[in-house]
Amino acid sequence: MVVTRFEGRWTLEDRFGSPWQYLAVEVPAGSWGLRAELDYERSGAVMDLGCMGAAGFRGWSGGARREFVISPEAATPGYLPGELEPGTWLVMIGLHRIPPGGADYRVTVTVSARPGELEPGPRPADLPPLRDRPVPRALPSTAGRRWLAGDLHTHTVHSDGVMTVPELARFAAGRGLDFLAVTDHNTVSHHRELPAAGAAHGIALLPGQEVTIEAGHANVLGDVGWIDFREPPDAWLAAAERSGGLMSVNHPYGGDVSWTAPMQRRPPLLEVWHWSWLDPRWTIPLSWWLAWDPAAIPVGGSDWHRPGSDAPPGAPTTWVEAESDDPAAVLAGLAGGRTAVSAGRDGPVLLRVGDELVASAADGTILAGPDGPKARVRGPLAKFPGAPGYHRLVDSAGGTLALTG
């Protein structure tokens, strides 16, 4: 076992130079496990943690963890298990917040050649199958397709959430969702768990990652490999496109995590409806959408992490008209712009079907277009001419209940 220790003081000048700092460790051939531990002065400082192996990315946990372990067979959530390739490894330290006087840090890295000496901990127990779940909604759709209820923004223990992937899958299925994008921050370590967890709990789990920097957050959806968050956002978009993925700007008007990063081109999707749309009478989300790109495909996200911190999966609900509930079919529906967003799975929803706008479970609401209110909705299913531009269902106070592009 070889132990390497680093200590020093990060300053604002270090942060000005780069938000990411690197501590190099040599990993000899035949190594079995690696553990890194970070400790730092907490008064005003926030530091993130990650790892680059000799052959590339091995994990990121941001500010959610202070240590990680990587071995051939297992790794701390957020990190990729696998053989420890010999060479120079880099412990990544993200200088998210550094106070004016700087902050002391200590990093200890242990490398072991003994199998089983460094392990991340026991595997979580399997969950029982879901015995009862809500009946899927039957909504008018194009021939050969159906509308699926889902959520495009959730987190697990692989970043800063509290649920394992199977726990999240079971929870979302119990809320009646057909699909869910699992979008942990700056990592893809959760992707390998998605197929089995989705199959076990009867829900399509879409691989995703929330690419996260101080200037904004964006989801990249699809099995596209790791997106290097250290590159500018235009590089994220190009990487997603090369591998058939989709990029969406998240919570663009979200307080201190609003989108401020410049881009030469616009991603195809926009998280118009985030749980932080606290008052549905606000028109900020609509004005941001129109200013950013009126042609952006609207989606929603709960940003689920844990009880009490945000909204549960499906609040709001993103609807996708797809040929099946296979993740590839859901992504195809998103790419084709066949989306709608509603406050929840069971309330009013506004869909585009052919050349019509269809309002379901919306009796008594008001159909509004880009130029204002257009018609009163009568009955459990109402149809209107499909005029261009975004449309909404609103209540008598002007609060948005559902929308479509």
Residue 325: the pLDDT is 95
- In whole angstroms, give the CA distance from residue 385 to residue 31: 66
For residues 299 and 289, the answer to whether their CB atoms sit within 8 Å is: no
Residue 389: the pLDDT is 96
For 195-247, the pLDDT digits (tens) are 999 999 999 999 999 999 999 999 999 999 999 999 999 999 999 999 999 99
Three-state SS annotation for the chain: CEEEEEEEEECHHHHHHCCEEEEEEEECCCCCEEEEEEEECCCCCEEEEEEEECCEEEEEEECCCCEEEECCCCECCCECCCCCCCEEEEEEEEEEECCCCCEEEEEEEEEECCCCCCCCCCCCCCCCCCCCCCCCCCCCCCCCCEEEEEEEEECCCCCCCCCCHHHHHHHHHHCCCCEEEEEEECCCCCHHHHHHHHHHHCCEEEEEEEEEECCEEEEEECCCCCCCCCCCHHHHHHHHHHCCCEEEECCCCCHHHCCCCCCCCCCCEEEEEECCCCCCCCCHHHHHHHHHCCCCEEEEECCECCCCCCCCCCCCEEEEEECCCCHHHHHHHHHCCCEEEECCCCCCEEEEECCEEEEECCCCCEEEECCEEEEECCCCEEEEECCCCCEEEECCCCCEEEEEC
For 25-56, the pLDDT digits (tens) are 999 999 999 999 999 998 999 999 999 999 99
Residue 238: the pLDDT is 98
pLDDT tens for the chain, 405 residues long, are: 999 999 999 999 999 999 999 999 999 999 999 999 999 998 999 999 999 999 999 999 999 999 999 999 999 999 999 999 999 999 999 999 999 999 999 999 999 999 999 999 888 888 988 888 999 999 999 999 999 999 999 999 999 999 999 999 999 999 999 999 999 999 999 999 999 999 999 999 999 999 999 999 999 999 999 999 999 999 999 999 999 999 999 999 989 999 999 999 999 999 999 999 999 999 999 999 999 999 999 999 999 999 999 999 999 999 999 999 999 999 999 999 999 999 999 999 999 999 999 999 999 999 999 999 999 999 999 999 999 999 999 999 999 999 999
Residue 122: the pLDDT is 85
Residue 123: the pLDDT is 85
Residue 131: the pLDDT is 86
For residues 346 and 176, the answer to whether their CB atoms sit within 8 Å is: yes
Q: What are the residues whose beta carbons fall under 8 Å from the beta carbon of 308, sequence distance 6 or more?
A: none
CB atoms < 10 A from the CB of 192, how many? 12
